[in-house]
Amino acid sequence: MNLLLLEDDEATRTHLERTLVAAGHVVDACSNGSDAIVLGSTNDYAVLILDRMVPGVDGLGVLKALRAAGVRAPAIFLTAIDGVHDRVEGLDAGADDYLVKPFAAIEFLARVNALLRRQPARDVATVLRVADLEIDLIKRSVRRGGRAIPLQAQEFKLLEYLMRHAGEIVTRTMLLENVWSFHFDPQTNIIESHMSRLRSKVDRGFVQELIHTVRGAGYRCDGLA
C-alpha cells in the first residue's frame, strides 16, 4: 500500500521507512509539513503517518489542511506529547490513532496495519502502464511492445517508482530517499549510472523514448517527447 510519512528526525524517519518497506509498503517520506500537504493532496495514500511536532506547519496543521481538501485517508499521529488535551485535539482534527514516542517498531507497524484493515477493500493496481511499457508488480516482470525486458532488482525498483509517478518530475532527492533509502546525497553517480542502464533496456531500439531528463530538475517517465 502507498503510505505518506512525515517525520523531521532523520534517524527516526529512516528507521520507520525501512520498517514499512520491509513489510511490503511503498512510502513517500518527507521532513516538513509543507511537503506533506503537497504530497497528501496530489497522491492517493492508504494511511497518513504524521509526526505531530515538526518545524513550520506541524502535523496537526497538515491533517487539518488535508481534511479540508477532502482527503479521507486514515491518519495516525506520532508524538512525544502525551497530554489528554493534545490527544483529543489531534483526534478532533481528524486523526484515527495516536502513538506516543518512544515506541517499538512492532507496535508502530501493528497500528498502521490496523488502520489499513479498517478500510473497505479497494482495487489495488498490480500492473502499471506507460504507453507500451508494462510492469507487473506481482510477477516482477517488465515488457515493452510485448517484448520481455530483464531488469536487476534495483533497476526494477527505480522503474516502478518512475512509473508510479508517471508524468511527474521526479527529483534526485526523491529517488535517493525512496529508491535507495538515502536521506543524504552520497555525492556519487549512483542515480545516473542506474538511469543510464535502465534507459538502455527500456528505450533502446524503440522510436519513442519514455524516460526523459528534465534539465535542472530531475527525470520524468511518460510517452511525451
Q: What is the pLDDT of residue 121?
A: 45
Contacts of residue 163, Cβ cutoff 8 Å, sequence gap at least 6 = 128, 129, 130, 133, 135, 221
- Inter-residue contact 99 to 76 (CB < 8 Å): yes
What pLDDT does 182 receive? 77
DSSP states of the chain as a string? -EEEEE---HHHHHHHHHHHHHTT-EEEEESSHHHHHHHHHHS--SEEEEES--SSS-HHHHHHHHHHTT----EEEEES---HHHHHHHHHTT-SEEEESS--HHHHHHHHHHHHHHSPP-----EEEETTEEEETTTTEEEETTEE----HHHHHHHHHHHHTTTS-B-HHHHHHHTS--SS---SSHHHHHHHHHHHHHTTT-SS--EEEETTTEEEESS--
Question: What is the pLDDT, as a whole number, of residue 28?
Answer: 93
Residue type, 37: I
Which segments of the chain have a pLDDT < 70? 82-83, 119-125, 225
Cell of 178: 525512496
Q: pLDDT tens digits for 90-127? A: 777 778 888 888 888 889 999 898 888 876 544 456 88
Over the stretch 25-41, which tens digit does the pLDDT of each residue have? 899 999 999 999 999 98
Q: What is the pLDDT of residues 61-71, one digit of tens each?
A: 999 899 888 88
pTM flag (> 0.85): no
